[in-house]
């Protein structure tokens, strides 16, 4: 999976030592690709990625596309 420089920076933040990292952006900005890469890296480190979205549908889609656990704030 290839990531661009911005996605690479996001993956670095997500796989860092922060307790909470918020990723937001327009549709097609590459959020899912970055989250998928971050989930893989975190799993190698023995950690997990949780994706929280505003709607249940978005949480289901994010979980399916990233392999991470998906939850809704709704």
pLDDT digits (tens, 9 = 90+) for 48-64: 999 999 999 999 999 99
**What confidence score (pLDDT) does residue 67 get?**
93
User: Which two tokens mark 31?
Assistant: 């959020």
Domain ranges of the chain: 5-72
User: Which two tokens mark 24?
Assistant: 């937001």
Maximum C-alpha span of the chain = 32
**What confidence score (pLDDT) does residue 10 get?**
82
Identify the segments of the chain with pLDDT beneath 50: none
**pTM, 2 dp:** 0.79
- Among residues 39, 29, 40, which one has the least CA distance to residue 7? 29
**What confidence score (pLDDT) does residue 13 get?**
82
Residues 5 and 7: their CA atoms lie apart, in Å, by 5
């Amino acid at each position: 999976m290839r990531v661009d420089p911005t996605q690479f920076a996001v993956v670095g933040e997500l796989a860092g030592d922060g307790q909470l990292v918020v990723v937001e952006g327009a549709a097609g900005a590459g959020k899912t690709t970055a989250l998928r890469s971050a989930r893989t890296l975190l799993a190698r480190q023995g950690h997990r990625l949780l994706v929280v979205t505003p709607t249940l549908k978005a949480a289901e889609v994010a979980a399916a596309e990233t392999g991470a656990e998906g939850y809704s704030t709704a």
